[in-house]
Amino acid sequence: MLARVKRVLASALVLVACAAGAADTTTRPFPGVTWLHHTTTAPLDVHLVTVDLCAAGVSTRATTSAERGKTVSAFTTQVGAEVGINGDFFTFSTYAPSGLAAGNRTLWADSRDQGFEAKVVLGQNRAEILPATTRITALAPWMEQVVSSRPQILKGGVIQAGFSTQICAGSVTAQGDCTRDPRTAIGLSKDRTKLSLAVVDGRQPAISVGMTTRELAQFLLSHGASDAVNMDSGGSSELWLKGKGVLNHPSDGVERVVANHLAVFAKGSGLAKHCPPPASDGGSVADAGAPHDGGLAHDAGAQVDAGAPGDAGAAADAGAAPDAGGEEASDAGPWGAPDAGEGADAGPAGPSMAPVDAAPPTGGCAQGGSQLAVAALAGVVLALQRRRRSAALSACRR
């Protein structure tokens, strides 16, 4: 018991040290919007914007086909939104996204759900992250804005791993995570009332070393996300705020022109377009259906191909591979960084994702240090109390 207590105490002390090395600044730039700037001595530089989808005047807007090929700042300014973030992987020559894309209820003619990317879908009184295995062939009546990407790094509060180099568009760690890079992610809370937009700087040793997909998932999980998708990253990663400009440090040194985007309006008055209505049991509609299917089975107008379990629906589609001129192929590496052996891959044959324990990442002072430290210290106190009671009972028996 004493050895166990010592181990827990040691872990707690490490987490306390991590928390002490982190600096968090939180502001509320717009009604319903919280901006967290998280830095550590690793170094890490992370920006997280959390949007209350039930706040008055909050809605979103994804890029239409005619609006493709703009920087995040240009698109967000053009539509008059308060927040903007980059979207899917893409082909430089045509700015066609790798997965399904839709803006203002209209699918892009040159995009389709090829069965290897998750979908962030927002619409009337609803927001969902649909896994790669749920394939969309036509928009359901509620669907208005769609941005896809890969891999899905959080699913029902469980960190995902076991990714291939094709899914990561680059190298993979021994644990099956996409390696450290600049990263973009979009997440949703379990009740689907909070939208998370995160960007991590990377490839800049003096500013930020980047995160693995596991580290990013842990960070988002510790800040309230239940489901999350890694978006196109590397030089494409960008988060823009009205009145502040580009929040992060793009690894290209300048903003990159990208295929599509997701913008957030936070006007402070009017309808909360994506807020789920209360369910009869006091919960939300998001909890009423099967988890992670977006309730599509209950939408008579939805045309969905769920695919065979475990095959991500990709093997059954001869066109499941993204074209060889994709964003990752154009850069010959993961999101702009040259990587031997990457080249113009034929595209993923479907994600291989396995849930992993939501333990702190190795070397990870980056995520939720203070919360984890408190939990660990509570464990130490509980263990000591149990040991004391055990000793007391032994004394009574004697």
Q: Quick one: tokens of 340?
A: 């031997």
* Total structural domains within the chain: 2
30 and 17, same domain (yes or no): no
108 and 238, same domain (yes or no): yes
Query: Phi, psi at residue 160, to the nearest 5°?
Result: -100, 150
330 and 379, same domain (yes or no): no
Domain that holds residue 346: 24-367
243 and 180, same domain (yes or no): yes
Q: Is the omega angle on the peptide bond into residue 361 within 30 degrees of 0, that is, cis? A: no
* Lowest model confidence (mean pLDDT) among 46-50, 147-151, 283-287, 319-323: 319-323
178 and 250, same domain (yes or no): yes
Per-residue confidence (pLDDT) for residue 220, from 0 to 100: 98
Helix (H) or strand (E) run with residue 126 in it: strand 126-130
The mean pLDDT of the chain is 79
Q: Quick one: tokens of 159?
A: 């960190």
222 and 184, same domain (yes or no): yes
Max CA-CA distance within the chain?
83
The upper half-sphere exposure of residue 80, i.e. CA atoms within 13 Å in the direction of its Cβ, equals: 3
- pTM score, whole prediction: 0.74
Residue type, 309: P
397 and 268, same domain (yes or no): no
Q: Are 83 and 242 in contact (CB under 8 A)?
A: yes
253 and 393, same domain (yes or no): no
Q: Are 190 and 283 in contact (CB under 8 A)?
A: no
269-295, pLDDT tens digit by residue?
999 999 999 875 544 444 433 334 444
Nearest one of 257, 256, 240 to 248, comparing CA atoms: 240
260 and 361, same domain (yes or no): yes
Q: Quick one: tokens of 242?
A: 């009205």
310 and 204, same domain (yes or no): yes
387 and 249, same domain (yes or no): no
Q: Are 118 and 313 in contact (CB under 8 A)?
A: no
320-378, pLDDT tens digit by residue?
333 333 334 333 333 333 333 333 333 454 444 456 544 444 444 444 445 545 454 55
100 and 31, same domain (yes or no): yes
